[in-house]
């Protein structure tokens, strides 16, 4: 957890549980928050007692340690292009309210967690990935301007997106919409690079930015 000198830890796993541990005060809290494997946790960048979890049960949960409460933030439908199972999420470190989620569908969706009624926009590759089986990981850069998306398949790909590309052109390699706008009215995020060479066809592999300026992309093999 933030500002805890690594004395407060949150973890998740395939046992459907989310665990919070305070090493200083010898406190362990186990939350039975989900009905399937929990793959990812996100810490709120501004509220240091708040964090989020996403699961294969298709939900994103929020936790507030100050109130010892949890709730369902997002519930995706099996008919959605996101897919019924969620494998990853990432919270914009600059705004603190733009949450990107990815799962067994080909679409990466961004939600405004202040509303969470429907995605505010999404990205979807135009070319089909051979034997595609899910978006295994999404990650923001440290400045929130870029997003790394890892697609699982026999020809695994990592797409690097510029979320604040000023060009109004709607590119052929991405589809984006706002719930109150048509695709032609707002700029699409620019896929400025595609990375290949890693293996992401069996298990849920992470992707992340590392370095002081997020200049390096690291992925599970």
Condensed to tens digits (0 to 9), the pLDDT of residues 8-36 reads: 999 999 999 999 999 999 999 999 989 99
Q: What is the mean pLDDT of the chain?
A: 81
Answer for the pair 209, 142: CB distance below 8 angstroms, yes or no. yes
The answer to whether residue 8 is domain-embedded is no
The answer to whether 42 and 52 are in contact (CB under 8 A) is: yes
| 144 assigned to some structural domain | yes
E runs forming strands in 44-91: 50-55, 59-64, 69-75, 86-91
Give the pLDDT score at 22.
93
Whether residue 16 lies inside any domain: the answer is: no
Does residue 196 carry a pLDDT above 60?
yes
- Whole-model pTM: value is 0.82
- Say whether pLDDT at 72 is over 90: no
Closest by CA position to 87, among listed 52, 39, 152:
39
Q: Are the C-beta atoms of 96 and 44 separated by less than 8 Å?
A: yes
Residue 50 within any structural domain of the chain: no
Residue with the bigger pLDDT between 45 and 191: it is 45
Mean pLDDT of 45-62: 92
Q: Is residue 172, in this structure, part of any structural domain at all?
A: yes
pLDDT at 167: 45
Q: Which of 80-84, 168-172, 214-218 has the highest mean pLDDT?
A: 214-218
Distance CA 20, CA 142 (A): 25
Q: What is the pLDDT of residues 105-150, one digit of tens each?
A: 888 888 888 887 778 888 887 777 666 778 889 999 999 999 999 9
In a domain, 59, yes or no: no
Has residue 185 been placed in a domain? yes
Comparing 170 with 213, which gets the higher pLDDT? 213
Structural domain includes residue 196:
yes
Q: Which sign, positive or negative, has the C-alpha torsion 143, 64, 207, 171?
A: negative
Query: Nearest 5°: phi and psi at 48?
Result: -75, 0
184 pLDDT more than 50? no
Predicted confidence (pLDDT) per residue in 142-173, tens digit = 999 999 999 887 677 899 999 886 444 433 33
DSSP state of 33: -
For residue 40, pLDDT over 80 is answered with yes
Expressed as residue numbers, the domain containing 207 is 76-219
Torsion of CA 188, 194, 199, 201, to 10 degrees: 30
What is the distance between the alpha carbons of residues 103 and 46, in angstroms, rounded to a whole number?
A: 26
pLDDT recorded at residue 131: 67
Structural domain total, the chain: 1
């Amino acid at each position: 957890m933030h500002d805890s000198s690594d004395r407060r830890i949150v973890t998740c796993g395939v046992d459907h549980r989310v665990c919070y541990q305070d090493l200083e005060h010898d406190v362990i809290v186990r939350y039975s928050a989900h009905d399937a494997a929990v793959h990812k946790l996100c810490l709120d960048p501004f509220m240091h007692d708040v964090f989020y979890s996403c699961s294969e049960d298709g939900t994103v949960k929020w936790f507030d340690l100050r109130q010892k409460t949890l709730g369902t933030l997002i519930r995706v439908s099996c008919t959605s292009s996101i897919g019924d199972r969620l494998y990853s999420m990432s919270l914009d470190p600059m705004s603190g309210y733009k949450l990107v989620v990815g799962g067994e569908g080909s679409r990466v969706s961004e939600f405004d967690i202040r509303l969470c009624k429907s995605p505010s926009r999404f990205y979807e590759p135009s070319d089909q990935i051979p034997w595609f089986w899910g978006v295994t990981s999404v990650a923001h850069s440290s400045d929130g301007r870029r997003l790394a998306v890892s697609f699982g398949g026999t020809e695994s790909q990592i797409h690097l997106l510029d979320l604040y590309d000023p060009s109004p052109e709607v590119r052929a390699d991405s589809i984006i919409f706002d719930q109150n706008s048509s695709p032609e009215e707002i700029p699409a995020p620019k896929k400025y690079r595609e990375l290949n060479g890693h293996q992401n066809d069996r298990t849920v592999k992470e992707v992340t930015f590392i370095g002081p300026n997020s200049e390096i992309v690291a992925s599970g093999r």
